Amino acid sequence: MGYAKMFTNEFRAKAAMANLGRQKGYTLVGCDQRGVNAFFVREDELKNRFTLKRVSELYRPPLYGEGLAGHPKDVKAMRVV
């Protein structure tokens, strides 16, 4: 899978999560630097505590590989603990 296609798929997944969060009363407020975790806050708790941004501004592509503390590119390569 090429980088552009992977970026598109990953971004669409994060956008879908943001939409689902909105339906449930939550707002996406950030993503970690590794592109693994997304953070949501209940809308009634926002109270100007966060600068709201578009999903495209919050998106971080996933980092893969040894030594990066990210997920391996291939799920089959994951160690089961």
Six-digit token string for 16: 């879908």
pLDDT at 58: 83
**Alpha-carbon distance 43 to 1, whole Å?**
36
E-strand stretches of 1-81 = 26-31, 38-42
pLDDT at 17: 81
Residue 18: count of CB within 10 angstroms of its CB: 19
pTM, 2 dp: 0.62
Per-residue pLDDT tens listing for the chain (81 residues):
444 444 566 767 778 888 888 899 998 888 888 777 888 899 999 888 888 888 888 888 777 665 655 556 665 665 655
